[in-house]
Structure 1
Amino acid sequence: MIVSPIEWNSPSVASNTAPNNPPGCPPGCQYVPRTQRTPMIHSAHSSRGTGHPGANNTPSLLRDRFWWPNMARDVRRFVQGCPDCAMSKSPRHLPSGKLLPLPVPNRPWSHLGVDFVTDLPPSEGNTCILVIVDRFSKSCRLLPLRGLPTALETAELLFNQVFRYYGIPEDIVSDRGPQFLQSMECLPTLRCDWDIRLRLPCKKLSPRFVGPFTILEQVNSVTYKLQLPSPYIIHPTFHVSLLKPHHEPVSLPTEPGQTEEPPLPLILDEGSVYKVKEILQSRRRYILQLT
């Protein structure tokens, strides 16, 4: 069964379409009045049969039957403000922001670089090395390990082998492996970036972006600090390559007294941030107790 993405014979459009098309309207096309343009774009872009095409493909669904001045501009404005496209579609341009050199340390062991060297030939049962480098003096600590440690073991190694001798560093540069990301939770005094982990059934189909969030300040030329909700237990500073501008959605005309509800927030690993609006169905479970 083929589902038409647009209700071409919609009574609301037919009744509001002028019988005489204005000058400039192509032959065979219907002129859409101003009050019906946004619902028409919404039908061509956001209906179930279209799949949210982009700003270039959405006008092609409209030009065969409908016309109004500056159609491409109105469609582009609507698509830019679509919340579903903003969260789900990956950007097609190169990452924003240039790579900046790391700051030059002023004292030894204030700025560290850590990484693992794995899959080494066994030596006294050890096949892995935790490399800790001081970026000021280039001095390093090599800690042999029997295998990749857990996040807690990594944090204990840093405390016992480095921090107890040289103090807490100002920053640590790593490759954002799971051992480093989770071990940073044990080091609240370090200004580190954490990933947003969503509790969703399929990672491949999960949203690429969450938000929108207000920018609090610009830390440097490529880093911004955002105002995050309290359930988001992550560091609020992000590189510009992880951000994209927010465009206000084009609201559909509603009946008097009706308001368009914003989309529900996402669920984080740390806890649910959904607000239950309505219970659609329930199932009763019985627990048998044996005596």
Structure 2
Amino acid sequence: MYHDLKEVYWWNNMKRNIAEYVAQCSNFQQGKAEHQRPGDLAQTMDIPIWKWEAINMDFNTGLPFSFKRYDSIWVIIDWLMKSAHFLPVKSSSTSKEYAKIYVREVTDGQAECTIQTLKDMLR
């Protein structure tokens, strides 16, 4: 507070007056660390070894219908590669249909890429 005020104002014993005011301020006292509950211990997360081993998924629904009658976007994010797929889907699809879309759009391309990488490494 002193550094902010000294740019605009100045008076005798300014620094001491500000320190005394802040020490008596109830808002400041409530915000002090000793009045706050300590935070929980940090939890470590296992780092995935393979692409698409650990993913997050989300649906953005309620969109206007597209030409192919899609009304949602399925977002699939890979934790390891920080890559994402944004897939147009229908909100009326079943879980089996979503599984087929996942295999077709995400894992098929990844499997081909992984096989090619392994072949290149073995040469």
- TM-score, normalised via structure 2 length: 0.47
Higher helix share: 2
